[in-house]
Chains A and B, each alone.
Chain A
Amino acid sequence: MNVFGMTVPAGFELATSIAIIIVKIAVIVAVTMLHVLYATYFERKVIGHMQVRLGPMRVGYHGILQPFADGIKLFFKEDVVPAEADKTVFKIAPIIPVFATLSAVAVIPFFDGFVIANINVGLLYLFAMSSLAAYGVIMAGWASNSKYSFLGGLRSSAQVISYEVPMGLSLVGVMLLSGSLNLTEIVKAQQQYWFGMYLIPQFLGYFVFMVSAFAETNRTPFDLPEAESELVAGYFVEYSGMRFAFYYAAEYIGMIVMSCVAVICFWGGWTLPPVLVDAVPALAAVPGIVWFLAKVYFHVFLYYWVRATVPRYRYDQLMSLGWKVLLPLALANIVVTSVVKFFAGS
């Protein structure tokens, strides 16, 4: 075994490969957390400018250090546990969403070959982890012993499970076309088209996926579980300090993960359309991570854009959108895709 030109002594292969994995994970987790920090800054700036404000300006140049200031503040803040809360559940609950969303990062290929675990059921694993996050919300809502939390937790669980169905179905089209659940292979399969992405044949799937992703991450216009104007903060109204920060972080990690999935499954991941690369060969020299991040940040921007533009849905509208519009659309997408694929293939 050979690492960075040095030969690993016999008997240490396993230890070395584990060490490499740990370093890789540490890098990815650190970079992800940094992105999360700056996603908050980015959001405040974008929305500020959309509303003709400046956003944070005080800490550092144009407020560039603001996220760190926030982080340090939250770290030292008092951790209030309400007297009548179910203390164990209350304390464990915030760890779950962070744990789940961070674990989901494991299967995301950032560029060719750079993925923590290249497993064959990557997409399934992502679904599993994204639905795990709902437990944190339900537990928080129940354990807080407050009416607002309880209602927020209920609403959120109903919302999350309602939108998980169309989300799961919207990606079946992608699976049909690529014949794989492995995210790297899904990206590579998209190169068969001259436009290099599933966005065009799967526009319906993409639409359903994006709407569901907004709902899954509790973002506007589906932020009813938090609805600050009626439920004050929903399920995490009783949380403060670091535990509060965890819910916040989980929401942003979730957003980034969902954007990554959208990019991988519908936008060709780190690749460019073959037709573009053929026209400008120089583009092939640019590392794939650049395109990947550009596409991800476009999606993250989309989240902010929607937040600044669209008003919140009413709860009955939210439910009927999920069950009466997105679900039939996703099913229709599956039927159309499979029929078209069958006749195009034979």
Chain B
Amino acid sequence: MSPITPGNYLPSEYLPIMILMIIAGAFGAGALIVGALFRIRRSYREKLMPYESGNPPIGEPRYRFSVKFYIIAMLFVVFDVEAVFLYPWALVYDKIGLYALIEMMLFITVLVVGYIYAWKKEAFKWD
């Protein structure tokens, strides 16, 4: 087999995944489309109103929400990227040895500094 280079690599083992994705999408869309032929359609104004415990809706449905959600989103990005760095490291850990261990301990230490900082700044606190 020739070495994998951008020119000659055909990811054929991913073909089944593509087919499954098409089938899964078709299943979702198909069930809805076929269902549309049989379903009853009897709507009136009250039925199409947003549900608010039986009362007419008050105010804007998409209101301003807590800034905490943004902070969580940013923390997620930080820690998820970190997890992405850990995966390849874990896979080649056997082959690299001590260097890998020390490097990753340093990496996690830096991360823990940020984690302690976020904790102390009450980024994880909800009230």
Contact = CB atoms under 8 A, between A and B. Distances in A.
Interface of A: 18, 21-22, 24-26, 29, 75-84, 91, 94-95, 98-99, 102-103, 105-107, 116-119, 124-125, 142, 144-151, 154, 157-158, 161-162, 164-165, 168-169, 172, 175-176, 179-181, 232, 237-238, 241-243, 246, 315-316, 319-320, 323-324, 327-328, 331, 334-335, 338-339, 341-342, 345-346
Give the interface centre of A105, A162, A232 by most chain B CB atoms within 10 Å.
A162
Mostly, the B contact residues are helix
Given A82-B48, A102-B27, A154-B65, A175 B91 contact: yes
Contacts of B41: 78-79
Contact of B36 (A79, A83, A95): A79
Contacts, number: 200
Interface of B: 13-17, 19-21, 23-25, 27-29, 31-32, 35-36, 38-43, 45, 47-53, 57, 61-63, 65, 69, 72-73, 75-76, 79-80, 83, 86-87, 90-94, 97-98, 101, 104-105, 108, 111-112, 115, 119, 124-127
Nearest to B58: A147
Given A315-B126, A331-B112, 16 more contacts: A29-B23, A79-B35, A91-B32, A99-B25, A125-B17, A144-B50, A158-B73, A162-B72, A164-B76, A176-B93, A237-B51, A243-B32, A320-B125, A331-B111, A334-B86, A335-B108
A334 B124 contact: no
B20 A148 contact: no
B108 A165 contact: no
Nearest to A81: B48
A335 B105 contact: yes
Contacts of B111: 331
A266 to B, nearest CB: 16
B13 A80 contact: no
Nearest to B93: A176
Give the interface centre of A94, A118, A179 by most chain B CB atoms within 10 Å.
A179
The 9 A-B residue pairs whose C-beta atoms are closest, nearest first, are A95-B28, A175-B90, A316-B126, A146-B50, A83-B48, A102-B24, A168-B83, A161-B76, A117-B16
A246 B27 CA distance: 11
A242 B62 CA distance: 25
Given A144-B50, A338-B93, A124 B23 contact: no
A107 B95 CA distance: 26
A106 B20 contact: yes
Contact of A241 (B13, B35, B108): B35
A14 B15 CA distance: 11
B80 A164 contact: yes
A116 B32 contact: no
B103 to A, nearest CB: 11
A323 B28 contact: no
A117 B127 contact: no
A21 B48 contact: no
Contacts of A335: 105, 108
B52 A99 contact: no
Nearest to A170: B83
30 contacts: A21-B19, A25-B19, A29-B23, A76-B38, A77-B39, A78-B40, A81-B48, A99-B24, A106-B20, A117-B13, A124-B87, A142-B62, A144-B50, A145-B61, A146-B51, A148-B52, A158-B69, A158-B73, A161-B73, A161-B80, A172-B86, A181-B87, A232-B53, A238-B51, A242-B35, A243-B32, A316-B127, A331-B111, A334-B108, A338-B93
A154 B63 CA distance: 11
A130 to B, nearest CB: 13
A18 B52 CA distance: 50
